[in-house]
Amino acid sequence: MQPSLVVALGATAAKALIGPSFKVTKQRGEIVERDGRRMTATLHPSALLRLKDPERTAAINDFTDDFRAFAALLGD
């Protein structure tokens, strides 16, 4: 496979794919070039489920916005 963009879901995946210094809470959605690939990360869906409203609603909206932005990048 030659994906145009790799999206890591959660901190564990982001640290494994992008590097140990990547902080999902601060850098989510930031595109990183690594090994000739574009990579990014966002929150893991299970993290959203553990939140209580109103934080959950805001986090789900951010998560959805992240994927809209990722889809826009693929349209390039």
Model pLDDT for residues 8-43, shown as the tens digit of each residue: 999 999 999 999 999 999 999 999 998 899 999 999
> 48: domain range?
6-74
Any domain includes 1: no
Any domain includes 10: yes
Any domain includes 31: yes
The distance of Cα 26 from the centroid of its chain, to the nearest Å, equals 11
Q: How many domains does the chain have?
A: 1
Nearest-angstrom CA–CA distance, 43 and 58: 12
Any domain includes 70: yes
Rounded to two decimals, what is the model's pTM? 0.88
pLDDT of residue 76: 58
Any domain includes 25: yes
- Cα 8 to Cα 2, 23, 44, 52, 54, distances in angstroms: 16, 12, 8, 23, 25
